[in-house]
Amino acid sequence: VIQGLLQANKSTVTSVDRAAQLLAHEAMRVFHDRLVDSTDRRKFFEFLADDLHNYFKVKWTAEKLQNEPFLFGDFLDLNVPSGERVYRPISDYDKLAHILEEYIVRVNYGGGQENQLVFFKGALEHIIRAARVFRQPGGHMVLVGLDGTGKSTTVHLASHVAGCILYRLTLTRGYGQADFRDDLKKVFKMAGVQGSNTVFLLTDSDIVKESFLEDVNSVLNSGEVPDLFDNDDLDTITMDLKRAAAEAEVPDTRDAVYQFFIQRVRSKLHIVLATSPAGDAFRQRCRTHPSLVNCCTLDWYDEWSNQAMLRVASVFLAQVDFTGIGADQDVKILKDNIAEICVGVHKDVMEQCLRFYQELRRHYYTTPSSYLDLIQLYSKMLRQQKQHYMDNKNRLFVGLSKLTEANSLVDTMQEELVNLGPKIEEKAKDTELLLQQLSRDQEAVDQVKTIVEEQEATMKRETQLVQDYADQAEKDLESVLPALEDATAALDALQKSDISEIRVYNKPPVLVMHVMSAVCVLMKQKPDWKTAKHLLNDAGFLNDLVNYEKDLVSDKVFSRLKKYTQMPGFEPDKVGQVSLACKSICQWVLALEHYVEVKKMVKPRQKRVEEAKEALNLALESLQEKQASLAKIQGHLGVLQEQYDDSVAQRESLRERKVTTQLRLQRASILITALADEKVRWVASLSNLEDKLQGIVGDTLISSSSIIYLGVFTAPYRREMISHWWDSCTKMNIPVSKDFTLTSTMAEANTIREWQNEGLPQDNHSTENAIFVKEGHRWPLMIDPQGQAIKWICEMEGSDLKRESASDPNFMRTLERAIRIGEPVLLENVTEVLDPALMPILMRELTNRGGQDIIKIGDTEFEYNHNFRLYMTTGMPNPHFLPAVCIRVTLINFTVTFEGLQDQLLSTVVQQEQPVLERQRGELLESIARDNTLLRDLEDKILSLLQKSEGHILDDQVLVDTLEKSKTMSGEIGHRVAESEDTQRKIELARKKYLPVATRGAVLYFVIADLAIIDVMYQFSLVGFQDMFRLCINVSSSNGKVNRPGSGDVNDP
């Protein structure tokens, strides 16, 4: 207590009340938490209240101390490092819960797995207690409570809160003392070398050898384990701690450094033993290892209170959607009522477990873990059942809608078919008239079109001739242009100095005079030298020559020009001998003359071309008028053609409608006739689904409760508890089916029949067991002293099943391979203590990496195939499984029942007396199951086809044909099933004559089986009894001592 008081800071203890609160908290942690009995705890609070009043003058009652939060902790501020935290009071549970939720978010609690924690008062106090121990140097804990009460979860979270590293054992098959010491070395180095605050958590399943606790006891007593480290380890520790030891002023010797190492281990290592009080192991360990009591803080984990369980249920149920499933009352009230039922179910089972042991000496444990499983399974099953019912309801509704649609269209289509005949005839007459008019107009159009086409051809020929004539004239004219252009270019190349050379002549040479006279003529000037010089003096002379209008030379000017150009020597070369400048002018004059001469020759042609074009234009206008007239006629004809085409299309459309309507009527008749029986059955099924949806909330609640809790109980206990839960649901206004049964709610009749054909006994208890195997969310562990479960599992799984014995040292290899490839495994001969190596598989400890689930078994990680299935059986008739097993598996009692054995013995008698009858019965059962499966598949196919059909259902011939074939096949199968069931009834009637013999045999077996209640030495094998029973029948039959059916009672053996 004093050590706890010294953890507080003076800044937080500022008043007498605060000091009293601190003392109360530390006293409760040291003394109260060790107490088990509620009377002792009450007495403690009374003593504490009196002492606080006497010494601190505070008037706190025992009730106040017990119910209000007298708590202290140092983790209220998440941002403060653990070494700088202040130990302060915590007065608000809600605030504490919020802070812990923030811790969960920050540290990603759960190693990547999604864990939803619900913080209620008891859970918060346990976390406070653990965090208090972890902040104390050398603090250790023993957590005592049934498995599944949250001990490991508390340590996980408290370790993070206190800033500690949590270390747990990774058990493998064959894990022993040497492996445990290797783990001890690791935690010692974590605490002593690395200086990390380390929590070493050990659970009952981790202690596979009691010698582990001897080392734990040494650590608790002295902080070390003798001979844990060899010399090499010590040398390594000395080297690793050399710097830290020097800073702590520890002498540089191996012994001194080792003592420094041990001191750090004592301070920073916290050992937590999470153990269960069930059985004798805990008591024996406390006697053998007193340090567990003397050196550890004890914390008892009691059963959760009703308020805690209600809180947990409310949190989980808040996420469940109850819309559309018959819940007419307020959803919040409904969820509150369901939470109360869940609490009541858990309490009921706890009471029945005690009665179960008292009456039948059979052990079974329920823990809060089972309660959590109930809530989670209920949420999951409700969602799945709702989806299943809604999907089936929608399929049936769509199927019925399609049939109703087809039925409602029949009268309309018949009336339409009557009206279509006259419409088709009338449309045919209109089409014929349009065709006659179209033919007449087509003849006129063809005549006009012929004339227009002839004129177009003539116009094309004449236009081509005129164009050829014009092209030739243009070609002739263009042939002289290059010479003129060359001469003009030569002129353009002359300089003023060249002109000046000519101008300086007073009396020019004859050839120069002739050239300039020709220029004067072209310029319409007097052809003398004076005029020529005047022209030469003009600055724009050359430009005038270059830009001369060659097309405007008159005939008079041309005649005068001719006079000079024909003079002797009027040649560029000769002129060039006299004057180079005049040579270019001479060349230009001659080229111009040649151009004008050609122009005069071409001009008449051009005139004729223009005249021809004018004539063509007149002809073209006439042709265009005729073309426009033709286009107009053709347009009218096109309108008529469209009218005719429309009329034909309407006529064909009417005919197609008639054909389609006739086909639809035929298909509707086929569809309605074929599915008439289905319609009746679907209506009934839809009504049944509506009823199930109305009661799904309560039905699923009772079913999930049965799956979680009832597997281990015998049939009378199951019936009693299910009836009680049904009454509770009714009283709490939770919708539940009036005729609820677990088998009808959780399994189809065909499925049950298949199980029975695979070897499952036909009694209701065995059917419920099969449901527990299939629907349980944990792997099943079946109590199977008579081997009935093994027979069924082997037949159901077939050749893929891998059978292993739990005593086989190599069975884990088979399991690992099956997990990888997704195969089923049957593990037989399981003992009361499960192999620790199985724990990751049983708890499904999966980690998702890159979208792939990974499981770690021992030191090996590999992919988890979700097709993997695990079945476990034990041949012990009355095993005592501790809570550590109960919370990790679905325990199922496959012990033979009176009804099941009676049926088996009846088959034995009939097999002996009338083997043909029994063989027929077996064949019939298989045939009925097979045919019923086919019927169900056909119905699913029909509904699926109707649901997927698009457009008008009566237009889908393939669909109608398929439905008709399916219906025909369904009718044949249904008839065969009816005949088989009738035959089965006759066979069963014949078999019942042998029922007294089977009943007598069953009574005898259970009489001798109950002898084990008197003394456990009385054990009898069912197989041996059946052999003896068969032998008695054979002997009696051969001696004639058995009366045949109908001849009297069966003689006593």
Q: Please tell me which residue, 953 or 360, carries the higher pLDDT value.
A: 360
Residue 680 Cα to chain centre, angstroms: 37
- The CA-based dihedral angle spanning residues 336, 338, 343, 349, taken in that order and rounded to the nearest 10 degrees: 170
Q: How many CB atoms lie within 10 A of CB 113?
A: 12
Structure tokens at 724: 């009680």
Structure tokens at 952: 């008008």
pLDDT digits (tens, 9 = 90+) for 181-201: 999 999 999 999 998 999 999
Q: ∠ CA 479-480-483 to the nearest 5 degrees?
A: 120
Q: Report the DSSP beta bridge partners of residue 564.
A: none
Residue where the block lists tokens 């099953």: 381
pLDDT digits (tens, 9 = 90+) for 1014-1036: 777 777 777 788 888 888 887 77
Q: 122 with 244: CB under 8 angstroms?
A: no
Structure tokens at 647: 């009329």
pLDDT digits (tens, 9 = 90+) for 629-680: 667 766 666 666 666 677 666 666 656 666 666 666 666 676 666 666 677 7
Amino acid identity of 862? F
pLDDT for the residue numbered 547: 82
Q: What percentage of the chain's residues is helix, strand, coil (to nearest 5)?
A: 70, 5, 25
- Interhelix angle for 93-107 vs 151-161, to 10°? 80
DSSP structural state of residue 8: B
- The CA-based dihedral angle spanning residues 611, 613, 615, 617, taken in that order and rounded to the nearest 10 degrees: -150
Instruction: For residues 201-217, give the mean pLDDT.
Output: 89
Q: Cβ-count burial of 187 within 10 angstroms (0-12 exposed, 13-18 middle, 19+ buried)?
A: buried
Q: 736 with 693: CB under 8 angstroms?
A: no
Select, from the ranges 338-347, 625-634, 908-917, the one with the highest average predicted confidence (pLDDT): 338-347
Instruction: For residues 934-940, give the mean pLDDT.
Output: 72
Mean pLDDT of the chain: 81
Q: Cβ-count burial of 1049 within 10 angstroms (0-12 exposed, 13-18 middle, 19+ buried)?
A: exposed
**Which CATH number describes the domain made up of 69-302?**
3.40.50.300
pLDDT for the residue numbered 388: 86
Instruction: For residues 733-745, give the mean pLDDT.
Output: 90
CA distance 105 to 117: 11
The β-bridge relationship of strands 824-828 and 802-805 is parallel
Residue spans per domain, the chain: 69-302
Region for residue 951 given its phi and psi (left: phi exceeds 0; alpha: psi -120 to 50; beta: otherwise): left
pLDDT for the residue numbered 648: 65
Instruction: For residues 116-135, give the mean pLDDT.
Output: 86
Q: 158 with 132: CB under 8 angstroms?
A: no
Which range is least confidently modeled, 184-198, 327-341, 770-784? 327-341
Instruction: For residues 206-234, give the mean pLDDT.
Output: 88
Q: Please tell me which residue, 406 or 127, carries the higher pLDDT value.
A: 127
pLDDT for the residue numbered 826: 95
Q: Please tell me which residue, 38 or 441, carries the higher pLDDT value.
A: 38
CA distance 630 to 638: 12
474: pLDDT confidence band, cut at 50, 70 and 90? low
Q: How many CB atoms lie within 10 A of CB 954?
A: 25
Q: Which of 358, 364, 374, 380 is nearest to 891 (CA)?
A: 364
- Given a cut of 80, whether residue 44 has pLDDT beyond it is yes
CA distance 494 to 497: 8
pLDDT for the residue numbered 109: 46
339: pLDDT confidence band, cut at 50, 70 and 90? very high
- Given a cut of 50, whether residue 1052 has pLDDT beyond it is no
Residue 1048's SS3 state is coil
pLDDT for the residue numbered 249: 85
pLDDT for the residue numbered 415: 61
Tell me the percentage of the chain whose pLDDT exceeds 90: 19
Instruction: For residues 2-15, give the mean pLDDT.
Output: 78
Residue 818's SS3 state is helix
pLDDT for the residue numbered 612: 65
- Given a cut of 50, whether residue 108 has pLDDT beyond it is yes
Q: How many CB atoms lie within 10 A of CB 564?
A: 21
pLDDT for the residue numbered 1049: 38
Q: Which of 149, 191, 117 is nearest to 299 (CA)?
A: 149
pLDDT for the residue numbered 1047: 38
Compute CA distances 156 → 96, 319, 709, whole Å: 17, 25, 28
pLDDT for the residue numbered 775: 92
Compute CA distances 535 → 502, 515, 709, whole Å: 11, 13, 135
CA distance 472 to 430: 61
CA distance 200 to 721: 42
CA distance 420 to 658: 7
Amino acid identity of 967? K
Select, from the ranges 205-214, 309-318, 764-773, the one with the highest average predicted confidence (pLDDT): 764-773
- Given a cut of 70, whether residue 406 has pLDDT beyond it is no
Select, from the ranges 315-319, 777-781, 901-905, 977-981, the one with the highest average predicted confidence (pLDDT): 777-781
CA distance 409 to 935: 29
- Given a cut of 70, whether residue 444 has pLDDT beyond it is no
- Given a cut of 80, whether residue 177 has pLDDT beyond it is yes
CA distance 262 to 285: 25
CA distance 596 to 518: 14
Outline where DSSP puts E strands in 262-411: 269-275, 297-301
Which range is least confidently modeled, 70-84, 156-170, 614-628, 695-709? 614-628
Q: Which of 145, 116, 118 is nearest to 36 (CA)?
A: 145
Return the exposure string of 793-827: e unless at least 16 CB atoms fall within 10 Å of the residue's CB, then b.
bbebbeeebebbebeeeebbebbbebbeeebbbbb
DSSP structural state of residue 1051: P
Structure tokens at 756: 């029975």
Q: 612 with 461: CB under 8 angstroms?
A: no
First CA to last CA distance, the chain:
77
Using DSSP, how many helices (H) and how many strands (E) does the chain show? Answer: 39, 15
Structure tokens at 253: 């010797």
Residue 853's SS3 state is strand
CA distance 569 to 1023: 152
H-assigned helices in 914-1010: 915-948, 957-991, 995-1009
Region for residue 146 given its phi and psi (left: phi exceeds 0; alpha: psi -120 to 50; beta: otherwise): beta
Tell me the percentage of the chain whose pLDDT exceeds 70: 77
pLDDT for the residue numbered 641: 67
- Given a cut of 50, whether residue 1051 has pLDDT beyond it is no
Q: 378 with 746: CB under 8 angstroms?
A: no
The β-bridge relationship of strands 860-863 and 852-857 is antiparallel
Structure tokens at 170: 């990774």
Q: Please tell me which residue, 741 or 930, carries the higher pLDDT value.
A: 741
CA distance 272 to 164: 13
Sign of CA dihedral 18, 20, 23, 27: negative
Which range is least confidently modeled, 6-10, 408-412, 716-720? 408-412
Outline where DSSP puts E strands in 721-787: 780-783
Instruction: For residues 784-796, give the mean pLDDT.
Output: 91
CA distance 300 to 291: 17
Q: Any idea how long the chain is?
A: 1053
Select, from the ranges 204-208, 326-330, 594-598, 651-655, the one with the highest average predicted confidence (pLDDT): 204-208
Q: 317 with 338: CB under 8 angstroms?
A: yes
Which range is least confidently modeled, 284-298, 391-405, 556-570? 391-405
Return the exposure string of 736-753: e unless at least 16 CB atoms fall within 10 Å of the residue's CB, then b.
bbeebebbebbbeebbbb
CA distance 156 to 167: 10
Q: 325 with 696: CB under 8 angstroms?
A: yes
110: pLDDT confidence band, cut at 50, 70 and 90? very low
1053: pLDDT confidence band, cut at 50, 70 and 90? very low
Q: Which of 191, 210, 205 is nearest to 266 (CA)?
A: 191
pLDDT for the residue numbered 530: 83
Outline where DSSP puts E strands in 716-805: 780-783, 802-805
Which range is least confidently modeled, 144-158, 239-253, 493-507? 493-507
